[in-house]
Structure 1
Amino acid sequence: MASAPNANLPLFYKSLVPLNSNQHGTWRAKSTDKAAWLAKEHAVPITVEEFPLAQRDFPIVFSSGENPVPLALMGLNEGVNTFFDEEGNMTSDCYVPAYARRYPFLLAKLQPDADQLSLCFDNSSGLVGEFEDGEALFTDGQPSEATQNILKFNENFEQAGQRTKAFMDELAKAGLLMDGEVSIGRDGEAPFIYRGFQMVNQEKLKEVRGDQLRSWNQSGLLPLVFAHLFSLNLMRDIFSKQAAMGKAPKPQVQQA
């Protein structure tokens, strides 16, 4: 199933620790050419700003259940990523979603009723610690330039998330979301049927009034809808990638 991330602990993260100069004044952040946290994830959240780039590489679908979010499909089964191997090496050039690039950092509320977001990190990542190499997180007790850049990236991501929620709310308000189903078959075999996600209902889209379509076109919503719809053709490419890996989805109805 294409499910939204766990609200209690975001996708990829095993722990969250607030970054502060008292405890982490001498700590550094290491860069890496491997994304081990992506290795076994088949669906990664994306924001609407990413649709134009993401739709070149991935089918863009919407998670099932309440409060759906856009997802870039990197595989058609849980635990299968056709773009990264088990160690996190990229095996096929692709756009990497900002959700994955921000790891191990993110902005989070320290208390459920708090208004302010604080920069936190996953201290199990092995990418932040008292290292001899890497970017210093603090200089003379103040956030370093590297930390300021990390904070800015995460702030931009949060703002993009708000715009994405507005986009999803607009789709829901117009009644355009429907349960999705894609059938992919190979000669002589029963088809694999991918379900457990949502997509835009093209028949209902055709019924939208002209004034509403003009408004959506001017706001940029309509191109995003078409990017989503066009990207669904990549389902077969992902299927073929899995087959080449020896992990082709079984030819039966599955929850992906």
Structure 2
Amino acid sequence: MSTPPMYANLTALDREQHKKLRLKLDAPVLERVAELNSLFLATVEFADACKEFPIVFVRVGTPVEGQPQAVAPLAVLGLKPGSNLFLKDSKWTGNYLPAYARRYPFAMARISDDGQDMAMCFDAEWKGFSETEGSSLFADDGQPSEFLANAKSFVEQFEMESERTRMACVKLVELDLLQDMRFEAQLGNGEKIDVEGFLTVNEKKLAELEDAKVVELHRNGLLSLLEMHRLSLSNMSRLASQYQG
């Protein structure tokens, strides 16, 4: 089982092994994103996220010969590695927090070698878990508590939206609509940096698409997603200006 960003020890939740497990609801979660300068973003979140974050795409996974490399969208939280400009004094300063972070400390993960079986998992190293304090995850009869049932529903919905996002990205790659981005930023402290490693829409290729493909993109919602992505890039300069001293 791979360990995604923000998690330390992703462990499958078992009703017998973890029947005494409790969750301290007031335990701080956001410290886990303090050194993350980006978070995965589902396409359903673009409308809210584009108002605050630059939305970019990145190549993900291991390249397979003869196949296009997969891509995924990210909300950019900072322009330097380990820099999250939306976290101050352990509090989130933005108006929108991506669902990737809101699902923590839970996640759905593939637990079989073939990647087919998925299970509800939790970060076993997070200090919010205890056997003596907090809300119980399981009732005395071994059934999930109301809290755990709601958490499971949320992470399952997140997985559904993640799959829709994956399919949307497959289409963008198929149409060859993304290109490498290089952004020259002058930070608020006067420092100049190059922001690289991200992908953005190729305006020229988008403009040259056949009418039928443009209509298809419009009808499946991808055209509006690309527009939100393009609009969000203006937030790059806003992030740059926040670096002071």
* 1:52-71 Cα shifts (integer Å, max 9, x gaps): 01111100001146322100
- Tell me, yes or no, if the aligned pair for 1:34 and 1:89 is still in contact at 8 Å: no
Higher share of residues assigned strand: 2
Secondary structure of the equivalent of 1:26?
coil
User: Aligned pairs, how many?
Assistant: 234
Question: Which AA in structure 2 matches 1:136?
Answer: S
Secondary structure of the equivalent of 1:181?
strand
1:190–1:203 CA distance, 2 compared to 1 (3 A): farther
Q: Which residue of 2 aligns with 1:89?
A: 91
Q: Distance in 2 between matches of 1:172 and 1:155?
A: 26
1:186–1:143 CA distance, 2 compared to 1 (3 A): closer
- Superposed displacement of residue 136, structure 1: 1.5
Q: Distance in 2 between matches of 1:64 and 1:112?
A: 23
Counterpart of 1:46 (choices 41, 51, 54) is 41
1:129 aligns with 2:130: yes
- Superposed displacement of residue 147, structure 1: 1.0
1:186–1:98 CA distance, 2 compared to 1 (3 A): closer
Q: Distance in 1 between matches of 2:107 and 2:180?
A: 31
Q: Which residue of 1 aligns with 2:232?
A: 231
Q: 1:171-250 residue pairs with structure 2 within 5 A? A: 171-185=172-186, 191-241=192-242, 243-244=243-244, 246=245
TM-score (norm. length: structure 1): 0.85
- Superposed displacement of residue 126, structure 1: 1.1
Q: Which residue of 2 aligns with 1:62?
A: 57
Secondary structure of the equivalent of 1:238?
helix
1:114–1:204 CA distance, 2 compared to 1 (3 A): closer
- Tell me, yes or no, if the aligned pair for 1:178 and 1:200 is still in contact at 8 Å: yes
Q: Distance in 2 between matches of 1:137 and 1:12?
A: 21
Identity %: 33
Q: Distance in 2 between matches of 1:120 and 1:186?
A: 39
TM-score (norm. length: structure 2): 0.89
Q: Which residue of 2 aligns with 1:170?
A: 171
- Tell me, yes or no, if the aligned pair for 2:71 and 2:170 is still in contact at 8 Å: no
Counterpart of 1:73 (choices 76, 92, 117) is 76
Q: Distance in 2 between matches of 1:162 and 1:17?
A: 22
1:93–1:201 CA distance, 2 compared to 1 (3 A): same
* 1:190-226 Cα shifts (integer Å, max 9, x gaps): 8432111111101111001222112211111100001
Secondary structure of the equivalent of 1:95?
coil
Secondary structure of the equivalent of 2:71?
coil
Q: 1:135-154 residue pairs with structure 2 within 5 A? A: 135-139=135-139, 140-154=141-155
- Superposed displacement of residue 12, structure 1: 1.0
Q: Which residue of 1 aligns with 2:99?
A: 98
- Tell me, yes or no, if the aligned pair for 1:59 and 1:233 is still in contact at 8 Å: yes
1:192–1:114 CA distance, 2 compared to 1 (3 A): closer
